[in-house]
Amino acid sequence: ILQGYVNLPAVTVFVNVEDLQAELQARWAEAPDRVWRLGTGEFGDSLALDELTGLHEGLIPLFTRHPNTGLEIKSKWHQLGHLLPLGPNPQVIFAWSLNPPELVREAEHATAGLRARLHAARRAAGAGFRLAFHFDPLIFFPGWQAAYRRTVEDLGAVASSGDVAWISLGALRFPPLLRQIMFARFPHSRLGAEEMVRAPDGKLRYFKNLRVEMYSRMREWLTEVLPGTQVYLCMESPRVWREVFGWVPEGEELARLLDGRLSPDRT
């Protein structure tokens, strides 16, 4: 996605961490009663370079001192041993994007394998941090049902409902331009060759019925292994929400639900 959105063949590391921390504390002081849910990992993997940058070694203690804040550290990497001594801290959520091993090998080059990510999640929970997981993008392929069910079962073997703040589901979607980038740079990939339709938001998506089926099955399997966990859809239409969950979050309702999951005493 970043190849189509940024199209910069490099990872940018911002080194003015003191400015970041000062800005955060100023904003928190302006609205001390507000819940602040923030995250790293939107434009690069949160953990991949963290041992070099030291970003989270400064951020985690900062969040500890502000009870109405939460930090989600999103990653496809597994090395977090340098951060574990900073726990326990239920305000800090280590989050992993998950896919079946065959998709990790095919489409998530130079990332940690599924087993390594789940082992890292177990270590984070054992150190007193909370967890989140993102099945995003969910990718259709022959045999997806069995592959994703095994992945959910593997997740259930390393995490408990009390460990997990939330789990998101999002089917593969991308701007039309990205399909051409995929064909040019990854000619053997099947991701861009699946049948898709241009949705009202301009993105190419799987047909609605397939998305509903994938979300419904994932919700069913996740409920079996992690009952009570907050599962939500990422960037989906109200129609799909209603067919999968029977309701549609209105206004800031979803944001409030996630705010309430920041720490165990808020659930």
How far apart CA 163 and CA 263 sit, in angstroms, is 10
pLDDT tens across 83-136, in order?
999 999 999 999 999 999 999 999 999 999 999 999 999 999 999 999 999 999
* 267 pLDDT higher than 80: no
Q: Which of 60-69, 77-86, 143-152, 204-213 has the lowest mean pLDDT?
A: 60-69
Identify the residue whose tokens are 């990854």. 186
How far apart CA 66 and CA 59 sit, in angstroms, is 11
pLDDT for position 263: 58
Mean pLDDT, to the nearest integer, of 46-64? 93
Nearest to 37 by CA among 166, 169, 133, 226: 166
Single-letter code of the amino acid located at 111: T
pLDDT for position 1: 76
| Total Cβ atoms within 10 A of residue 163 | 21
User: String of b and e for 224-250 (b: at least 16 CB within 10 Å)?
Assistant: ebbeebbbbbeebbeebbebbeeeeee
